[in-house]
Amino acid sequence: MTVEEFQEVLGVSFVNPYLLEQALTHRSYINEQADDLVEDNERLEYLGDAILDFITADMLYRRYPEMSEGVMTRVRSALVRTDSLAQLALDCQVGAALLMGKGEENSGGRERANNLCSGFEAIIGAMYLDRGLDVVRDFMLPRLTKFQTLVMDEAISKDARSQFQEWSQAEYNITPKYKSISTTGPEHKKEFVVEVILGEQVVAKGKGRSKRNAAQSAARAALNLVKNGDLSL
């Protein structure tokens, strides 16, 4: 697919088509070209990623005035995660338009989720530079709305342990561990105390009538520390 054809698929005309061509240029394509003027899409991808985060956060903030920061964060993450953006890229036929090396193409590069996601983010970066934020917002909001109902229930219903694990893996690449440290009370009314550990550090404790509930309580306590900026390793 040519750049001109791809603009018709997008429904957005670029003042400077070179920006769109750069957005569609995978790094593997550069390795096979003698032209030093050709640039890959990685810088545009970086820019587009930040713009998508902003537009999505702005949309959620305006549409859901009662939604908490934690829920907005989870919904935003679900909307702009690799799989979601790769699906948007498929809808826009990004795979057919990407410029890539023969080796990458022959190994299934046009269907690879990471390539599609990166290409889509780069297109958003190029669109922002070429046409401005309002055009990007008009392009993205209907597409974000399409996924919104699909991810909303999943994002809102995630339990505290799942939320804390997502945060700890993103922040420190560590999976939390939970350890039962005491059990008190008679058999019919036991109370468990569980601590949550990151690496070698105990970060919070929780109580509950079962080990599961105590672990959830510990995770909620840890999330409160994160929210208040009081958790660091």
Is the pTM here over 0.85, yes or no? no
Q: What is the pLDDT confidence band of residue 34, given thresholds at 50, 70 and 90?
A: low
Catalytic choice (40, 45, 121, 195): 121
What domains sit in the chain, N to C, each tagged with a CATH number?
3-157 (1.10.1520.10), 160-227 (3.30.160.20)
Query: Do the beta carbons of residue 181 and residue 196 sit within 8 Å?
Result: no
| pLDDT at position 230 over 80 | yes
Residue 49 annotated as catalytic:
yes
Q: For residue 43, what are the CA distances in angstroms to 19, 28, 155?
A: 11, 15, 30
pLDDT, residue 120, reads 96
Residue 130 annotated as catalytic:
no
Neighbouring CB atoms inside 10 A of 179's CB total: 14
Q: Report the share of the chain in percent with pLDDT over 90.
A: 55
Task: For 37-55, write each residue's pLDDT tens digit.
Answer: 778 999 999 999 999 999 9
Task: For 156-213, write each residue's pLDDT tens digit.
Answer: 556 788 889 989 998 899 999 999 999 998 877 789 999 999 999 999 999 988 888 8
Task: Quote the tokens at residue 61.
Answer: 């903030």
Residue (of 191, 165, 163) closest to 178 by Cα position: 165
Interatomic CA distance for residues 137 and 59, integer angstroms: 9
Residue (of 62, 3, 43) closest to 126 by Cα position: 43
- Name residue 126's amino acid: A
Catalytic choice (21, 40, 45, 49): 49
State the distance between the two ends of the chain, measured CA to CA, in whole angstroms.
49
